Amino acid sequence: MLRAGCRAALSLRPPQGSAPRRGAGEQRSGAAEAAAGESLKRTPLDALHRSRGGRMVPFAGWSLPLHYGQGHLQSHLHTRRRCSLFDVSHMLQARVYGRDRIRFMESLVVGDIAELKPGQGTLTLLTNERGGIVDDLIITNTLEEHLYVVSNAGCADKDLAIMRGRAAELQATGGDIHLEVLDNALLALQGPSMARVLQAGLSDDLGKLSFMNSITTTVFGVPSCRVTRCGYTGEDGVEISVPTGRAVELAEQLLGVPEVWPAGLAARDSLRLEAGLCLYGNDIDETTTPAEAGLMWTLGKRRRAAMDFPGAAIIMAQVKEKPKRKRVGLTSVGPPIRPHMAILDPEGTPVGEWGSRAHVGIASNCTCGRGGCWGHQPLLSSPVLMSAGTVTSGCPSPSLGKNIAMGYVEAVHSRAGTTLTVEVRKKQHLALVTKMPFVPTQYYMAK
């Protein structure tokens, strides 16, 4: 799941009691920060996060927890070993009704939506006419005869504009299509003990629910919940779409289980990077194509043959001729690898045309505000050119004890096992092109 939302700038204040005395200009800046905080959207779980010590930060226009008292490292490892609850209510949820709903979605995305069985979902890509990735979505063909669509929060406005525009075009020619935006909260329960924890609150047998499949059921007494077996951590997990008025109740029920910890954006980001999953706005955007990003598996065989999705001619030409740049995984020891850093060959020659990418702040998974922590990622202005020879995501891996990253290199340097270097503080450090995921995924498939 390429899920998290586009990056959004934020200003992190020092911990309470550690801030220096402000001058007049600093006081005005503080007032601006407070005003910005007031303008942020808040999820139904906002008060719960604060009551449990969540460090709230701006992310894609929302106020969300970065981490809790246990810190990023312990939260990450706990998710790998036990189970964590993430609030992902900032993501856009929509339903598509009507007899032309599949034709509607396939006119926008690269996936084979028509082949989805009832209750089955898929990751797919919304593309533009240049073959660029507008967003990554999860689309489910529900048992209730509508499509359930989940989009990134940072792309919500443009996704809605595109979908509404296309719906209007089809309706004008007699098409039967209706788009509904949901007000539900969305909770992600992730980790190896998820099934045991959730099964205690379900009458349905989770053992029959495979990865990327979905049911509507009652969860711990809360009816009308959509449970989809998926997630953004690489672990076995579910995302639960729950009516807003009952979201806190359900979250408290789940967090009442001792092995379930609340987790925030910092752990979510390092977990997804270990799983080799892209972050929209960092690793993919409207300047990258599925072929360059290594996401051609999202294109169904029928769709490739029909070439009836936006940007099909450009994307399929890249497949035939091979893309000039590719997204790769990197591992290293020594200083952490961060976004924007140049990727070079062992002789120090750039492995692509490394362009400047605007560094506009500290990202929403930085836990220190200075860029020196486990969760730090620099921010990119949008849109940006993801040039070959550039790191797009990177952090020390809590699970592996070494640095992991992903970035784009010229295709000739993309083979696993290739030795490259990354420039860190004007010094070159060896990095190895490594197959992803860095940590094996644990997605569940019913027998």
**What pLDDT sits at residue 95?**
98
pLDDT recorded at residue 426: 92
Question: Whole-angstrom Cα distance, residue 275 to residue 262?
Answer: 20
pTM for the full predicted model? 0.88
Chain segment 226-282, per-residue pLDDT in tens: 999 999 999 999 999 999 999 999 999 999 999 999 999 999 999 999 999 999 999
pLDDT above 70 covers what percent of the chain?
Answer: 84
Q: Are 444 and 229 in contact (CB under 8 A)?
A: yes
pLDDT higher than 50, residue 62: yes
Q: Which pLDDT band holds residue 28 (cuts at 50, 70, 90)?
A: very low
Instruction: Name the token pair of 195.
Output: 């099934």
pLDDT the model gives residue 12:
30
pLDDT in the model for residue 34: 52
Residues 6+ apart with CB under 8 A from 422: 330, 332, 337, 341, 342, 343, 344, 391, 405, 428, 429, 431
pLDDT at 334: 93
* pLDDT at 438 > cutoff 70: yes
Under the phi-then-psi rule, with left for phi > 0, alpha for psi from -120 to 50, and beta for the rest, what region is 247? alpha
Give the model's confidence band at 353: pLDDT under 50 very low, under 70 low, under 90 confident, else very high: low
Residue 81 has pLDDT above 70, yes or no: yes
Lowest mean per-residue pLDDT among 2-16, 62-76, 79-93, 399-413: 2-16
pLDDT for 179 equals 98
Tokens of 393: 């995501």
Residue 36 is predicted with a pLDDT of: 55
- Is residue 239 part of an annotated ligand binding site? yes
**Phi and psi torsions of 3, nearest 5°:** -125, 130
Q: Is the Cβ–Cβ distance between 143 and 216 less than 8 Å?
A: yes
**Between 417 and 11, residue with greater pLDDT:** 417
Average pLDDT, integer, range 194-216? 97
Three-state SS string across the chain, please? CCCCCCCCCECCCCCCCCCCCCCHHHHHHHHHHHHHHHHCEECCCHHHHHHCCCCEEEECCEEEECCCCCHHHHHHHHHHHCEEEEECCCCEEEEEECCCHHHHHHCCECCCHHHCCCCEEEEEEEECCCCCEEEEEEEEECCCCCEEEEECHHHHHHHHHHHHHHHHHHHHCCCCCEEEECCCEEEEEECCCHHHHHHCCCCCCHHHCCCCEEEEEEECCEEEEEEECCCCCCCCEEEEEECHHHHHHHHHHHHCCCCEEEECHHHHHHHHHHCCCCCECCCECCCCCHHHHCCHHHCCHHHHHHCCCCCHHHHHHHHHHCCCEEEEEEEECCCCCCCCCEEECCCCCECCCCCCCCEEEECCCCCCCCCCCCCCCEEECCCCCCCCCEEEEEEECCCCCCEEEEEEEEHHHCCCCCEEEEEECCEEEEEEEECCCCCCCCCCCCC
Region 124-132: mean pLDDT is 98
- Looking at residue 11, its pLDDT comes to 30
- Identify the pLDDT of residue 386: 58
Res 202: pLDDT: 97
- Among residues 316, 276, 288, which one has the least CA distance to residue 408? 288
Cβ atoms of 432 and 332 within 8 Å: the answer is: yes
Q: What is the pLDDT of residues 145-163, one digit of tens each?
A: 999 999 999 999 999 999 9
Report the chain's terminal Cα–Cα distance, integer Å.
Answer: 22
8 vs 14: CA distance, rounded Å = 19
